[in-house]
Amino acid sequence: MNKKGIINPKEVRTQNYESKKMNNSENLKKKKDKDLPWWVELLFVQIGLPDKLLIKILKTQKKARELIKYDRNSLIKFLFVILTLVYFYPVIKHAKNKLDCETIAKNYIIKNKNTFGINKRELKMLSTNFCYGGEEIYEFENFKN
């Protein structure tokens, strides 16, 4: 009986090892021949920024990648909170401006107009009306009770 069809496992292992070894040397050559990113070329080669800055940028980039990789849930929660605040900021700002306008209008009515016989609710109504462009405040002196 001839055993030509049977492959020796040691020979397979050595062939795989040699092929992996050859691939690693090719990969190293590819990494060495790789072009610089455009921003490194522009900022550090053409403009001539200091190399220390490049080192700091690359370290920060590496730390950011690690942060994203390991703390993904907390980062997503933080971004959700920030986006929620950004979404509701115009509503909060509008409400604040409205309250400020009503306060200013109320103080104006109290100082410059005759407010005898007007309760707080009517004063608030007049100040709100004034802030939204109403002209009842100008006819206020004729509105005495």
What would the two tokens of residue 115 be? 């407010």
User: What b-and-e string marks burial along 115-131, b requiring 16 or more CB atoms within 10 Å of the CB?
Assistant: beebeeeebeebbeebb
Q: Determine the pLDDT at residue 108.
A: 85
When pLDDT is cut at 50, 70 and 90, the band that residue 144 belongs to is very low
Which range in 12-26, 34-48, 54-68, 100-114 is most confidently predicted, on average pLDDT? 54-68
Cα 29 to Cα 34, 44, 111: the distances in Å are 9, 23, 83
Distance of CA 76 to the CA centre of its chain: 11
In the chain, the amino acid numbered 119 is: N
Q: Which residues contact 90 (CB under 8 A, 6 or more apart)?
A: none
Determine the Cα–Cα distance for residues 128 and 106; give it in Å rounded to an integer.
Answer: 9
- In the chain, where the domains are located: 36-70, 72-145
When pLDDT is cut at 50, 70 and 90, the band that residue 110 belongs to is confident
DSSP codes, 127-141: HHHHHTT--GGGGGG
Determine the Cα–Cα distance for residues 60 and 39; give it in Å rounded to an integer.
Answer: 15
User: Residues 57-67: what's their mean pLDDT?
Assistant: 92
User: Is residue 27 predicted with pLDDT exceeding 70?
Assistant: no
For the ranges 33-47, 96-110, 128-142, which has the lowest average pLDDT? 128-142
Which range in 13-22, 70-79, 86-95, 120-129 is most confidently predicted, on average pLDDT? 86-95
